[in-house]
């Protein structure tokens, strides 16, 4: 299998006009998913959850990240940390459900207890009944394993390997591109978040998100005001890709009111919007009056959960009198994302066609999608595959 | 409360997941054994009272921990209170605050 991957990677890394897509095994085989976990998801800055989901002090949320149990915790000073959700004693899962920790994280097995910064605080009976210390058990060395993390645009990113450059360097290009949107985001709350469970590999959701080619066919409603020719490619090789539109129109309710705009935006944002996949697994959208993030949670090689959260420009937009408009906006996006489900699930099934060679790209329309494929191939080469 | 009724109350508190009650019941049991000079049993219950107080962030934790330390069953730590220890990784020192 590895030989097959190695030869195919070179085809993927060719220019878009002659390249093939990633081969089937990247979608259909658990073994390749396991390699991808290391080479792509763990080696880079991957999205695992929203900071606003643990908004209060002491809130702790378990997260399954491609099979790895993680725990995101906000301490009493507001700092968010991500730990491996595994006790340092016998490896018990520490937190099963999201909850608020008022004191320490107590392992449910033998009650070793950890502070919210990961420090091991108590080791009851470790030296025998009623003896809570032992010379060979150094608590200072047995804190929770912290996973390198960073928050940007409310998204919690982790670099499991610990070897990626700092996030600000990793994402510098996109941070700069959207510098104007670098301002407080107000999460719309329960009516502005939803999940979609899809039977496909996570990469198919990225690939589909990057391109506008499918819009007139899959989203005819969207296309009635946002035509194919109003879209442009966003291509940052090795970093991110996506699409933009020149004809964004804010949603307006019957009374003519609409969401407030982010402050100080350049006039070109009056009718522009951008949709970008920051590799590997988060999809962002920005508009003058709202933004969103979609975290792709890779459950297995054939299953993904899409976590969607929508944000507004001011606290006023979170008020009750905006609830209807927020719900309408969420409903609009949900309908659009649901329209994509049959294609990502259909491509997953199509990948079981053993004679499929990864497919050809439109040299004109598929540039952003090819960039993602080429980046994944690059990650495998960096991990030791290829010529 | 006698030994039997404390046992029953403990089982009941465990069943109800009433961890605040566990702290005082385990502490009562510890006091009882301490009075009768059964040091190991006292420390066993003291340990449980301490761990559940620590878990909930209750103020009793300091006193319970001090008693265990005084008996040589636990040791004081550097720093004061939960969350004050220096994090083990440099990136953990950079606070990640909510954007708002
Ligand atoms: S496995 Fe966690 S305390 Fe034993
Ligand atoms: Fe789509």
Q: In the block, which residue shows the tokens 């006193």?
A: B63
Q: What is the pLDDT of residue A5?
A: 82
d(CA B86, CA A33): 37
Asked if A39 contacts A48 with a C-beta cutoff of 8 angstroms, the reply is: no
| pLDDT at residue number A358 | 97
Specify whether the CB–CB gap between A260 and A313 falls below 8 A.
yes
Ligand 1 pocket, Cβ-based, cut-off 6 angstroms: A 87, 89-90, 92, 107, 109-112
Question: If you count DSSP H runs as helices and E runs as strands, how many of each does chain B have, helices first?
Answer: 4, 0
Q: Which residue has the higher pLDDT, B81 or A122?
A: A122
Contacts of B47 in chain A (CB under 8 A): 124-125, 130, 132
Instruction: Give the pair of three-digit tokens for residue B89.
Output: 């990784």
Burial of A369 (0-12, 13-18, 19+ CB in 10 A): buried
Element (H, E) at A263: none
> Which has the higher per-residue pLDDT, A74 or B90?
A74
- From A159, A140, A137, select the one nearest A148 (Cα to Cα): A159
**Ligand 1 atom at shortest distance from the alpha carbon of A94:** 2
Shortest-distance Cα residue to atom 1 of ligand 1: A90
Per-residue confidence (pLDDT) for residue B90, from 0 to 100: 39
How far away is chain B from the Cα of A355, in angstroms, using its nearest Cα?
47
CA nearest to A240, candidates A271, A288, A203, A282: A282
Residues of chain A with CATH 2.102.10.10: 47-151
CATH superfamily placement of domain A47-151: Rieske [2Fe-2S] iron-sulphur domain (2.102.10.10)
Distance CA A106, CA A182 (A): 38
d(CA B76, CA A9): 57
pLDDT of residue A223: 65
Tell me, which fold does domain A171-380 have in CATH?
Answer: Naphthalene 1,2-dioxygenase Alpha Subunit; Chain A, domain 1 (3.90.380)
Is residue A184 a contact partner of residue B99, using CB atoms and an 8 Å limit? yes
Tens of pLDDT, residues B11-54: 999 999 999 999 999 999 999 999 999 999 999 999 999 999 99
Dihedrals phi, psi of A225, to nearest 5 degrees:
-110, -20
Q: Extract long-range pairs of A88-91: CB within 8 Å, 24+ residues apart.
A: A88/A112, A88/A120, A88/A142, A88/A143, A88/A144, A88/A145, A89/A123
Residue of B nearest to A73 (CA): B96
Q: Give, using CA atoms, the residue closest to atom 4 of ligand 1.
A: A110
What is the C-alpha to C-alpha distance for residues A133 and A360, in angstroms, rounded to an integer?
63
pLDDT at residue number A225: 65
Q: What is the mean pLDDT of chain B?
A: 83
Give me the residues near ligand 2 (ion), CB cutoff below 5 Å: A 340
Band of the pLDDT at B89, cuts 50, 70, 90? very low
pLDDT band for position B78 (cuts 50, 70, 90): low
| Distance of alpha carbon A159 from alpha carbon A170, whole angstroms | 11
Q: What is the pLDDT along chain A (387 residues), one digit of tens a residue?
A: 566 788 899 999 999 999 999 999 999 999 999 999 999 999 999 999 999 999 999 999 999 999 999 999 999 999 999 999 999 999 999 999 999 999 999 999 999 999 999 999 999 999 999 999 999 999 999 999 999 999 999 999 999 999 999 999 999 999 999 999 999 999 999 999 999 999 999 999 999 999 999 998 999 887 666 678 899 999 999 999 999 999 999 999 988 999 999 999 999 999 999 999 999 999 999 999 999 999 999 999 999 999 999 999 999 999 999 999 999 999 999 999 999 999 999 999 999 999 999 999 999 999 999 999 999 999 999 999 876
CB nearest A103 (choices: B42, B58, B74):
B58
The complex's ipTM works out to 0.87
Cross-chain CB nearest to A133 (options B46, B54, B75) = B75
Tokens of A227: 């035509």
Nearest-angstrom CA–CA distance, A211 and A361:
11
Give the closest ligand to the alpha carbon of residue A338. 2
Q: Do B97 and A129 touch (CB under 8 A)?
A: no
Q: Where do you find CATH 3.90.380.10 in chain A?
A: 171-380
CA dihedral sign of residues B84, B87, B90, B92: negative
Distance from residue A341's CA to the centre of ligand 2 (Å): 9
- Of A215, A180, A158, nearest in space to A286 by CA: A180
The beta-carbon neighbor of A55 closest among B47, B83, B98 is: B98
Helix (H) or strand (E) holding A193: strand A193-198
Q: Which two tokens stand for residue A287?
A: 């508009």
Q: Confidence class of residue B80 from pLDDT cuts 50, 70 and 90?
A: very low
H helices of A141-227, in order, are 167-170, 172-177, 202-210, 215-218, 220-225
- Distance CA(A208)–CA(B30), nearest Å, equals 63
Atom of ligand 1 nearest to the CA of A107: 2
């Amino acid at each position: 299998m590895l030989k097959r991957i190695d030869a195919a990677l070179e085809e993927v890394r060719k220019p878009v006009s002659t390249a093939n897509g990633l081969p089937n095994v990247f979608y259909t085989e658990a073994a390749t998913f396991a390699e991808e976990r290391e080479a792509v998801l763990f080696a880079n800055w991957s999205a695992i959850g929203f900071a606003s989901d643990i908004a209060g002090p002491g809130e702790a949320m378990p997260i399954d990240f491609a099979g790895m149990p993680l725990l995101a915790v906000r301490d009493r000073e507001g700092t968010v940390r991500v730990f491996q959700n595994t006790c340092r004693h016998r490896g018990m899962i520490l937190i099963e459900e999201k909850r608020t920790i008022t004191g320490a994280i107590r392992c449910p097995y033998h009650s070793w207890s950890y502070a919210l910064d990961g420090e091991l605080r108590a080791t009851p009976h470790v030296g025998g009944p009623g003896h809570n210390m032992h010379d060979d058990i150094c608590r200072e060395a047995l804190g929770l394993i912290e996973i390198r993390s960073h928050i940007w645009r409310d998204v919690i990113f982790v670099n499991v390997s610990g070897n990626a450059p700092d996030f600000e360097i990793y994402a510098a290009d996109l941070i700069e591109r959207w510098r104007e949107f670098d301002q407080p985001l107000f999460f719309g709350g329960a009516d502005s978040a939803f999940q979609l469970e899809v039977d496909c590999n996570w990469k198919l959701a990225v690939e589909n998100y990057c391109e506008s080619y499918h819009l007139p066919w899959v989203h005819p409603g969207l296309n009635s005001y946002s035509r194919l020719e109003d879209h442009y490619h966003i291509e940052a090789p090795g970093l991110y890709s996506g699409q933009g539109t020149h004809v964004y129109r804010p949603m307006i309710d019957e009374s003519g009111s609409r969401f407030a705009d982010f402050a100080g935006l350049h006039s070109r944002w009056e009718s522009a919007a951008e949709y970008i996949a920051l590799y590997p697994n988060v999809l962002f959208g920005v508009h003058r009056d709202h933004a969103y993030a979609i975290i792709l949670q890779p459950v297995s090689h054939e299953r993904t959960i899409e976590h969607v959260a929508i944000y507004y420009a001011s606290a006023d937009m979170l008020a009750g009198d905006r609830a209807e408009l927020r719900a309408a906006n969420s409903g609009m996006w949900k309908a659009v994302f649901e329209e994509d489900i049959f294609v990502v699930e259909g491509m997953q099934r199509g990948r079981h066609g053993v004679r499929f060679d990864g497919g050809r790209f439109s040299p004109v329309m598929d540039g952003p999608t090819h960039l993602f494929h080429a980046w994944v191939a690059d990650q495998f080469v960096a991990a030791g595959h290829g010529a | 409360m006698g030994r039997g009724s404390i046992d029953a109350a403990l089982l009941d508190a465990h069943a109800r997941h009433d961890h605040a009650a566990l702290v005082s019941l385990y502490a009562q049991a510890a006091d009882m054994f301490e009075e009768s000079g059964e040091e190991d049993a006292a420390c066993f219950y003291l340990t449980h009272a301490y761990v559940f107080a620590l878990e909930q962030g209750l103020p009793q934790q300091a006193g319970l921990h001090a008693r265990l330390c005084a008996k040589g069953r636990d040791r004081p730590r550097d720093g004061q209170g939960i969350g004050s220890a220096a994090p083990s990784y440099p990136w953990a020192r950079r606070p990640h605050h909510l954007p708002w």
